[in-house]
Amino acid sequence: MPDKQTPPAPGAPAPQTGHDMPGMPGVPEGDAAPQHGTGGTALPAGDAPAPAPPADHYADRIFPSDEMARARARLTREHGGTSTYKVMANLAEYQLRRGRDGFRWDGEAWFGGDINRLTLKSEGEGSFGSGVDSADVQVLYSRALDPYWNLQAGVRQDFQPGPGRTYATVGIEGIAPYWFDIEGAVFLSDKGDLLARTSAYYDQRITQRVILQPRVELNFSAQDMPRNRIGSGLVNAELGLRVRYEITREFAPYVGVSWERKFGNTADYARLRGEDTGGFSFVLGLRTWF
């Protein structure tokens, strides 16, 4: 049985309950109303400046402050202040060509934080039976300009075509509007030769697992380099269209077509050696990262 409540004495204010509202008998109004807070959602309406954030940490009132400082430092590292890495092969493919089949690779790896990173890049191609036709490796310092673009500088070492050359490198890479991945770089060799390279690709999702990737790469030279079989102007171009299937995000085999062509004196050097100046190839490959 519920307890019987004693009725209030005559003239005494009625007791308040959880359902009492201002304006009801016994509920104070205006300045007499109880105040439940002075910050957060209890601030009065208006356009006054926001209150200053608290300068202390509430947990320090309960736990030792040095232990909480270590916990906050670890939280900062784990939410953007830590060093991470990524290794990615955008192209690793077998090329079925007219005459002699070949292979090609294009990938990069980086280690660092959100702003500063050490980046390694490599790309090259070759033919089965004759070895590697071109190959280079770049070691770069990468500095974030904003959330989408990185400025890079370092060195590039060419191994083929010989003789090997070392270049100072300055470039930029990032994501342009509408999610185009773009790279561009200029290279100045220890012999005074100036080269440039630009590439771009776009991932068009057909489904959540099937992605169509058009890709273009252009190489330029400011001068003739006969010993390296490179002519001035547009050296070569590659246009590709590849369709990959992402078994997982990190593991995606692909098929496609690629068109490559040498131009100008670079094509003349290839003809003198009895090599093709370019053409179409059917490609089978794997795009992977970890």
pLDDT grade for 276, boundaries at 50, 70 and 90: confident
* CATH 2.40.160.40 applies to domain 84-289: yes
Report whether pLDDT(236) > 70: yes
pLDDT class of 2 with cuts at 50, 70, 90: very low
pLDDT band at 83 (very low <50, low <70, confident <90, very high): confident
Handedness of CA 121, 148, 77, 117 (dihedral sign): positive
Going from N- to C-terminal start, the domains of the chain cover: 84-289
The token pair at 22 is: 């201002």
Helix (H) or strand (E) holding 239: strand 233-245
Which pLDDT value is given to residue 18? Answer: 47
**pLDDT > 70? residue 15:** no
27 vs 226, residue with greater confidence: 226
* Statement: residue 287 has pLDDT above 50: yes
The predicted model gives 227-237 an average pLDDT of 95
**Rounded to 5°, angle at Cα 144 from 140 and 147:** 140
Instruction: Give residue 156's pLDDT.
Output: 97
Q: Output the furthest CA–CA distance in the chain (Å, rounded).
A: 118
pTM for this one? 0.75
Per-residue confidence at 79, pLDDT binned at 50, 70, 90?
confident
**Confidence check: pLDDT of 25 > 70:** no
The segment with the largest mean pLDDT, out of 31-35, 45-49, 84-88, is: 84-88
pLDDT of residue 215 exceeding 60, the answer is: yes
Name the DSSP class of 138: E
The mean pLDDT of the chain is: 87
Contacts of 121 (CB under 8 A, 6+ apart): 107, 108, 137, 138, 140
Q: Which position has the higher pLDDT, 12 or 196?
A: 196
Q: Which residue has the tokens 């989408």?
A: 148
Determine contact, residues 233/262, Cβ cutoff 8 Å: no
Considering only residues 18 and 64, tell me which one the structure prediction assigns the higher pLDDT: 64
pLDDT tier at 45, thresholds 50, 70, 90: confident
